Structure formats: structure tokens, C-alpha cells
């Protein structure tokens, strides 16, 4: 009898232990402050950033202007770190690269502001970028105005009113169309949050937006974009709620079947600490960094700090228009190569300088034949460089001609479209039918890639194509004035070959006869392209 009683007690204790232990592996990891901190620590571990200051001075500084900005933004609102090396690196990047996207210019300005920069790039971006490129340029601009920066054309209250006018009938906001999307709605709420206490119209609009976001939340706590779950949208909603002082773990509007936003984000966590864009996918950089700064936003709210976009180190009074380190693109000296026969005049100039050098040597009584031979060698080298280097004017480059090729192995078809933006913008560079370049046939030779054919199309049809990296590692950041991030953090150019999305870059994909190449502007990392 005693043995049976002992066995029953052991079983009961085992059941209690199992019932208590199982939830701790997942839900409790998300639903407590320590568990949320684990999100952030895991991402730092994934990046090998045990020494955060070392990571800032090393990897993030080296990638300033490329991929470091949102990590720097989040870390500046997370702890007390030295960002001086990063600031110098970003300013150098901005001085060497012309940033065409208004949203990107404002993003860079926001990053400079958050590290306390006094550079004039901030004021320049504010004055030439707010509102010129759709709703995202209003949102990023309002973040800067909310921190005391001044725009020559708009006040923070005026931008807020403009955003209220853009609210859709369903209570959300969107990049295009008349129906709200969850991520853009959340990002708009983030910018409007500081105005809620003093502006009843903003309060009403945000209340409608919260209802919209609550109704769109999925049973697992996350959100779907274009029918597919992802952590990025959920992270944006987390930032929005935290900016309003709303704890997603206790507000019943954002708890579905016992699951909070944090549970929804946890679904996408990968081994090693990063986050995937789709359930069960590989670690995705965009998903990981957005979860990172959303985690910082939530922790700031729990610790009683200001909203994520209310900057701790902003220094608006020190920024004056016209002090930017970026060169004035409108004040360029005339290029010699833009006029005909530049090689002849360049050679004449080099010979003239060589003659002047010889005369100076003669007058200074340094008449050794070796000196004159050295001058002649330098003149010959200079002439050789001029003759062997092919500088081209804009007219010469965009020549409207097909490339001359030997050993043609077939042909491919190329088209460039932005159907996701069709009819949603009155900008001249966004065609109303979404067709930038209708299907055109190009001959290919051995070794031609998707990138090389795109370059040929640009030259023949006068399309501005901008890329980052070398030809093999080329990443297309803009086509025909439409750039990545112009319409959200997930927007940019993607390509398909024969209807499939290749796993290699456009500079590495070698073409075969009959291939069909399609370039599309996506609002959601290609997931909205059929």
C-alpha cells in the first residue's frame, strides 16, 4: 500500500513538474521583461557583439551608410556608447555618394541626429526631402521635427495634419491605394505618438488605427503581409504600442488566444539568435534588425524612458542649413570630356606641362640629361593614360544602340516594371501603367549575366540604373529614379528569371538562350510579386 501511495505521489510530482516546465521554453521566454531582453542579447550574440563598443567601432563603422544605420539608431537609444567613429564614417559615405531617395536621406539624417551629430546634412535633408516622396518621407520627416529640428516649409503640427489627411477609411495608412496596411499604419502611429496628448484629432486618428491593428492581429500574436506571416510587421506594431506607452503584454486588444506580439515575434526566432522573414526560414537581416530596435523600444517603455523616436542625444540647435559635408551637386566644374576631342587637348596640355617643367629645370641650372629624361617619361605616361582611357559623355554612354557582340549564343527577353506603384503616384518617373520598359529582346554572348543585360538596356533606352558593389556582386539600388526604401523598409528591386527568383545576385546569374528576365519594384522583399 505504501509503495502504491509513493508511486502516485511521484507521478503527481512529475506531472506538476512537466506542466510547469514546458511553457517556460517558449511563452514565458517572451512574456516577461527578462525574456524580451533575451531577444536583444541573442541578436547581439548572433552578430558576435559581446563587446558592443567594439562592434560599433568595428563592423558598424565599416558598414556606415550600407547596413549599420538601424543598429546604430537602436544602440544609441539603448545605452551610453561612443559613436564618433561611426559618425565620421557615415559623413564620409554621404560626401562620396549621392543619395537619391528622399526617405533614405531622412533616414541618414535621423541616424546622425540620434548620435548627437551637429553636421549640416541633417538640416539639408529636412529641407529638401520632407514630403517629396510619399508617406514615408512625411513619417521620417516628422520624427526629426518632433525632436526640435526645423524645416523651412513645414512645422511638426502641419506634417501631422497631412498624415491625418492620408488616413484610409478603414483606420489604417498605406503606401498606395485606399486600404490600410499594418506596417505602414504602425509606422505612422510611431510618428504621431508625441502629438496624442495635445491634439484631439491625432488622438482620434490613433484610436482608429489601434482598432485597425487589433483586428488584423493573427491568432498566434503576429501579423501577415500579403497573406504571409512575418516578424517585421509585428515589430513595427510593437514599436507603435510602446511609443504610446501601451504594454502589449497586458492590453487585451493585442492578446489573441493568449498570445501577445512578443509570442508572435518569437515564432520567427532562429537558432543562434537571429530572426527569419518567414516561418522556418533562414536568418534575415531586415527581420533581425527590426526585432532588435522593437525590443529596445519595448524595454524603454518598461523602464519609463521616452519613445524610441524621441531621441536622447539630438542636437537640433547646432545644425544649420548649408553646412553639410556633402558636395553641392549643382556646382560642378565643366568636364573636359564632355566636349569633343578631349583627348587631343588633354595630350596638348600634358606636353605643355612637360615643356614648362623642362624650362624650369633649365632656368634652375638642373640641366642633367637624367632630369629631362624623367620629364619625358612622365609626359609619355600621361599621354598613354589619356589615350587608353575612354571617358564618355552622357550622350555617348546612353547611345541608343545595341551592344556589338561576337560569338552570340542566343537571345533573352528583358522587362522592367513597377506594377506595385501603378496609378498610386503622380511622380513623372513612375508610369501609370507600371511599365518602365516593356519586353525587349537582347542578344547574349557567353558569360552575359542579368546585370550585364540590364546595363545594356540602360544604355540603349536611357534608363538611370544605380548599383552598389562590383559587377559580380552588384546590387541594384535604383532604376529610373525609383530607389530601394522609397516606399518602406522592405521596398526595392528584385529580379526573376523564367518566373523564378534566383538565389544569386544579378551579377552572378549567367544567362542561357531563351531566358526571360523580369525586374520588379517590390514593396515587400519580393513577396508581392506574382
User: Is the domain of 380 the same as that of 437?
Assistant: no
Rounded to two decimals, the pTM is 0.69
User: Is the domain of 369 the same as that of 477?
Assistant: no
The pLDDT confidence band at residue 320, using thresholds 50, 70 and 90, is very low
Domain that holds residue 434: 405-522
User: Is the domain of 465 the same as that of 383?
Assistant: no
pLDDT one-digit tens code per residue, 184-196: 999 999 999 999 9
User: Is the domain of 459 the same as that of 500?
Assistant: yes
User: Is the domain of 510 the same as that of 412?
Assistant: yes
User: Is the domain of 377 the same as that of 437?
Assistant: no
User: Is the domain of 451 the same as that of 374?
Assistant: no
The answer to the question of residue 287 being in a domain is no
| 349, pLDDT greater than 80 | yes
CB crowding 132-156: b at 16 or more within 10 Å, else e: ebbbbbbbbbbbbbbbebbbeebeb
How far is Cα 60 from Cα 381, in angstroms, rounded to an integer? 40
pLDDT score, position 422? 73
| 122, pLDDT greater than 90 | yes
User: Is the domain of 471 the same as that of 364?
Assistant: no
User: Is the domain of 417 the same as that of 503?
Assistant: yes
The answer to the question of residue 138 being in a domain is no
User: Is the domain of 364 the same as that of 426?
Assistant: no
The answer to the question of residue 487 being in a domain is yes
pLDDT mean over 34-63: 92
How many domains does the chain divide into?
Answer: 3
The answer to the question of residue 362 being in a domain is yes
The answer to the question of residue 459 being in a domain is yes
pLDDT one-digit tens code per residue, 467-501: 776 666 778 888 988 888 888 878 889 999 999 98
How far is Cα 485 from Cα 246, in angstroms, rounded to an integer? 28
Average pLDDT, the chain: 84
Opening angle at CA 70, ends 108 and 289, nearest 5: 155
pLDDT score, position 421? 80
Residues 6 or more apart whose Cβ sits within 8 Å of residue 19 = none
Q: In this predicted structure, which of 321-325, 386-390, 410-414 has the lowest mean pLDDT?
A: 321-325
| 138, pLDDT greater than 50 | yes
How far is Cα 187 from Cα 416, in angstroms, rounded to an integer? 29
Q: Are 73 and 293 a contacting pair, CB within 8 Å?
A: yes
How far is Cα 287 from Cα 223, in angstroms, rounded to an integer? 13
User: Is the domain of 374 the same as that of 433?
Assistant: no
pLDDT score, position 346? 77
The answer to the question of residue 86 being in a domain is no
Closest CA to 296 of 243, 255, 220, 229: 243
| 343, pLDDT greater than 90 | no
Could you tell me which residue, 525 or 64, shows the higher pLDDT? 64
Rank 164-168, 332-336, 416-420 by mean pLDDT and report only the highest.
164-168
pLDDT mean over 69-78: 96
pLDDT mean over 228-241: 94
490: domain CATH number is 2.170.130.30
The answer to the question of residue 288 being in a domain is no
pLDDT score, position 363? 84
Amino acid at each position: 500500500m505504501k509503495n502504491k501511495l509513493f508511486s502516485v505521489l511521484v507521478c503527481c510530482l512529475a506531472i506538476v513538474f512537466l506542466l510547469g516546465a514546458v511553457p517556460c521554453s517558449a511563452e514565458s521566454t517572451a512574456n516577461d521583461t527578462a525574456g524580451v531582453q533575451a531577444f536583444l542579447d541573442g541578436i547581439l550574440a548572433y552578430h558576435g557583439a559581446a563587446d558592443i563598443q567594439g562592434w560599433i567601432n568595428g563592423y558598424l563603422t565599416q558598414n556606415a551608410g550600407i547596413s549599420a544605420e538601424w543598429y546604430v539608431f537602436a544602440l544609441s537609444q539603448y545605452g551610453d556608447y561612443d559613436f564618433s567613429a561611426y559618425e565620421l564614417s557615415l559623413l564620409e559615405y554621404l560626401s562620396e555618394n549621392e543619395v537619391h531617395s528622399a526617405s533614405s536621406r531622412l533616414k541618414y539624417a535621423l541616424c546622425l541626429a540620434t548620435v548627437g551629430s551637429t553636421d549640416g546634412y541633417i538640416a539639408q535633408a529636412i529641407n529638401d526631402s520632407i514630403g517629396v516622396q510619399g508617406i514615408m518621407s512625411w513619417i521620417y520627416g516628422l520624427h526629426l521635427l518632433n525632436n526640435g529640428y526645423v524645416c523651412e516649409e513645414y512645422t511638426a503640427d502641419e506634417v501631422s495634419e497631412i498624415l491625418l489627411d492620408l488616413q484610409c477609411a478603414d483606420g489604417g495608412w498605406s503606401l498606395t491605394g485606399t486600404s490600410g496596411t499594418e506596417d505602414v499604419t504602425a509606422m505612422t502611429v510611431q510618428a504621431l505618438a508625441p502629438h496624442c496628448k495635445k491634439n484631439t484629432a491625432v488622438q482620434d486618428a490613433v484610436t482608429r488605427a489601434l482598432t485597425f491593428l487589433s483586428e488584423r492581429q493573427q491568432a498566434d500574436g503576429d501579423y501577415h503581409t500579403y497573406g504571409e506571416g512575418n516578424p517585421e510587421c509585428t515589430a513595427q506594431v510593437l514599436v507603435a504600442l510602446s511609443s504610446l506607452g501601451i504594454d502589449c503584454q497586458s492590453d487585451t486588444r493585442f492578446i489573441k488566444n493568449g498570445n501577445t506580439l512578443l509570442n508572435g515575434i518569437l515564432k520567427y526566432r532562429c537558432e543562434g539568435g537571429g530572426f527569419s522573414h518567414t516561418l522556418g526560414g533562414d536568418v534575415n537581416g531586415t527581420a533581425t534588425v527590426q526585432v532588435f530596435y522593437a525590443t529596445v523600444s519595448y524595454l524603454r517603455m518598461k523602464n519609463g524612458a521616452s519613445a524610441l523616436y524621441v531621441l536622447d542625444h539630438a542636437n537640433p540647435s547646432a545644425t544649420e542649413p548649408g553646412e553639410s559635408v556633402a558636395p553641392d551637386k549643382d556646382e560642378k566644374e565643366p568636364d573636359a570630356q564632355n566636349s569633343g576631342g578631349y583627348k587631343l587637348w588633354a595630350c596638348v596640355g600634358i606636353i605643355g606641362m612637360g615643356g614648362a617643367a623642362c624650362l624650369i629645370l633649365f632656368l634652375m641650372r638642373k640641366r642633367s640629361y637624367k632630369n629631362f629624361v624623367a620629364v619625358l617619361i612622365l609626359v609619355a605616361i600621361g599621354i598613354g593614360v589619356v589615350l587608353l582611357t575612354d571617358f564618355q559623355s552622357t550622350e555617348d554612354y546612353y547611345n541608343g544602340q545595341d551592344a556589338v557582340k561576337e560569338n552570340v549564343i542566343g537571345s533573352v527577353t528583358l522587362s522592367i516594371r513597377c506594377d506595385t506603384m501603378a496609378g498610386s503616384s503622380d511622380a513623372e518617373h513612375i508610369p501609370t501603367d507600371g511599365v518602365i520598359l516593356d519586353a525587349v529582346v537582347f542578344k547574349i554572348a557567353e558569360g552575359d549575366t542579368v546585370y550585364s543585360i540590364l546595363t545594356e538596356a540602360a544604355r540603349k533606352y536611357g534608363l538611370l540604373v544605380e548599383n552598389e558593389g562590383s559587377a559580380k556582386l552588384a546590387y541594384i539600388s535604383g532604376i529610373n529614379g525609383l530607389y530601394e526604401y522609397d516606399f518602406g523598409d522592405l521596398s526595392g528591386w528584385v529580379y526573376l528569371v523564367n518566373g523564378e527568383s534566383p538565389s544569386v545576385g544579378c551579377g552572378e546569374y549567367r544567362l542561357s538562350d531563351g531566358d526571360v528576365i523580369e525586374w520588379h519594384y517590390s514593396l515587400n522583399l519580393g513577396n508581392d510579386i506574382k
